[in-house]
Structure 1
């Protein structure tokens, strides 16, 4: 598990994009940091836990990429 220290104005989706490259993984961050679940905009220097997430890679290509 990694840590992330927030910058002023960070939001859950921005942090998820920075850490995972996908803002839709913000729910993983919120679940790992329940004490901050009501926070919308973070102040600076808040330490958050960033769990490792397995990235699913599909071996099936769509028809236009075959």
Structure 2
């Protein structure tokens, strides 16, 4: 697991966008940091745990882009 240190004004969705490239993973961040689940806007310097995630490969991709032969 990695760590993310917040900057003033960070929100869960913004942090998810920065660390994962997509806001939809903000629930993973909240689950990994339950002590901050009620926080909307972070102050600077809060250390958050950033769990590893596996992103599924979309089935809409052609087989050669999904890693299939």
TM > 0.5: yes
Unpaired segments of 5 or more residues in structure 1?
none
So what's the TM-score if we normalise by structure 1? 0.88
Q: Secondary structure at the match of 1:55?
A: coil
Deviation at 1:61, TM superposition (A): 3.1
2: distance between equivalents of 1:32 and 1:61?
Answer: 31
> Quick one: distance in 1 between partners of 2:41 and 2:29?
14
Q: CA RMSD in A?
A: 1.4
Runs (4+) of structure 1 exceeding 4 A deviation are none
What TM-score comes out, normalization by structure 2 length?
0.84
**Cα distance in structure 2, aligned partners of 1:28 and 1:38:** 14
- What's 1:21 paired with? 21
What residue ranges of structure 2 are gaps of 5+ in the alignment?
A: 63-69
Q: 1:27-42 maps to which residues of 2 (within 5 A)?
A: 27-42=27-42
